[in-house]
Amino acid sequence: MTALLEVSDLSRAYEVRRGSWPFGKMATLHAVDGVSFELQAGRTLGLVGESGCGKTTTAKLVLGLVPVTGGEVRIDGESLPAAGTQPWRALRRRMQMVYQDPLGALDRRLSVGRQVMEPLAIHGLGGRLAEHREKAMAMMDAVGLAAHHFDRFPHELSGGQRQRIVLARALILDPQLLVCDEPISALDVSIQAQVVNLLLALQQRLGLAYLFISHDLRMIRQVSHEVAVMYLGRIVEQGDPDRLFAAPAHPYTQALVSAIPTHARQKRRRTVLPGEPPNPVDRPAGCAFHPRCRHAVARCRVETPQLRVLADGRRAACHLVEQIVASAA
């Protein structure tokens, strides 16, 4: 069975000028570099990493909003058409996006109801206006909005309600894949849980697949069937969330997991990484993580590690992963 979403060796590079214009040399920024993953229908893949590691670029590449410079995105085995073309537009019915800033993603001048109905008009679905209205009402009800919200404007609603509108607008087309780019990070903590529970309930009911991007590790753990950890445009570890978070294999994942705040009283060894994440333009040779890694050996500076399948089915990109796992156990 082909996966709903299949991403192989996905890359996106930008030409940037180093230093002050116009004297700098041109350099290449690898925002996303050789990312591969699969996503089955009805499943959730969580994508984590610190800011600037290429999560959002990956999301845009998957949706075809940004042209790829290498690799391929396949939906149900078919290659993604170029952005703006008719087939690409038709494909919008099957893949939709949820944004980090719902107020920015909504048109401030249109009532909520009209915005929820708009995708139907765009794709020429469902005939008359009354039917559109009925459908939009049903969808708004499904995401937990009341009928009286229909004629409101986005700025009159709360953050959680706005995110529900964005969801309703995305779901009215009955898509199979929803790319959620930090859908909860702009919301209050209490609202975050509500929206996440809504997303989980919708997945159950509609069989949606989520590509869920976040820097909130606990949220990712809660929603994902599989997690991929990104560092500087590459996936460094990928696997089952429970195993990955319980016993991270890659040194970077270990540091990430140890940074999750806990309420437990027991003392925990916290791995604090030295230095800042490097500028993606000056990606270190070999393993991009080696300058901050306490296990790094000479080989790490020269040879870029590839994702390898470990004994427990998980995958990690580290030359020393076996030793590290063995020493941790």
Partner 1 sequence: MPADRGADLAADRAHPGRVARFFEAWPPLTLIALAWIALMVIAAFGADLLAPYSFTGLDLRARLSPPVFMGGTWAHPLGSDELGRDVLSRLIMSIRLSLLIAFFGTLIAAALGTAVGFVAAHFRGKVEAVILMLIDFQASVPFLIVALAVLAFFGNNLVLFVLLMGLNSWERYARIARGLTLAANEQGYAAAVRQLGATNVRVYGLHVLPNIASTLIVSMTITFPETILLESGLSFLGLGIQPPLTSLGNMVGYGREYLTRAPWIMLSPAAVIVLTTLSISIVGDWLRDRLDPTLR
What is the binding site for partner 1 (CB under 8 A)?
Answer: 63, 65, 89-90, 92-93, 96-97, 99, 101, 104-110, 118-119, 122-123, 153, 155, 166, 169, 173
CB of 76 to partner 1, least distance (A): 18
CB of 244 to partner 1, least distance (A): 30
181 or 237: CB nearest partner 1: 181
First CA to last CA distance, the chain = 36
86 or 262: CB nearest partner 1: 86
CB of 102 to partner 1, least distance (A): 9
Nearest to 49 by CA among 234, 186, 210: 234
Q: Is the separation of the CB atoms in 322 and 251 below 8 Å?
A: no
101 or 240: CB nearest partner 1: 101
Give the neighbor-by-neighbor strand order of the sheet with 315-316. 95-98, 177-181, 209-213, 44-48, 226-231, 234-239, 315-316, 308-309
Beta strand segments in the chain, E: 5-17, 26-39, 44-48, 70-75, 78-79, 95-98, 177-181, 209-213, 226-231, 234-239, 308-309, 315-316
CB of 104 to partner 1, least distance (A): 5
Strand partners, 179: 97, 211
CB of 89 to partner 1, least distance (A): 4
159 or 278: CB nearest partner 1: 159
31 or 318: CB nearest partner 1: 31
108 or 265: CB nearest partner 1: 108
Give the neighbor-by-neighbor strand order of the sheet with 26-39. 26-39, 5-17, 70-75, 78-79
CB of 56 to partner 1, least distance (A): 11
CB of 182 to partner 1, least distance (A): 13
CB of 166 to partner 1, least distance (A): 8
Q: Is the separation of the CB atoms in 73 and 10 below 8 Å?
A: yes
Nearest to 75 by CA among 60, 64, 83, 67: 64
DSSP string, 206-273: H--EEEEE-S-HHHHHHH-SEEEEEETTEEEEEE-HHHHHHS--SHHHHHHHHTS-----S-----PP
166 or 220: CB nearest partner 1: 166
169 or 234: CB nearest partner 1: 169
Which amino acid belongs to residue 141? D
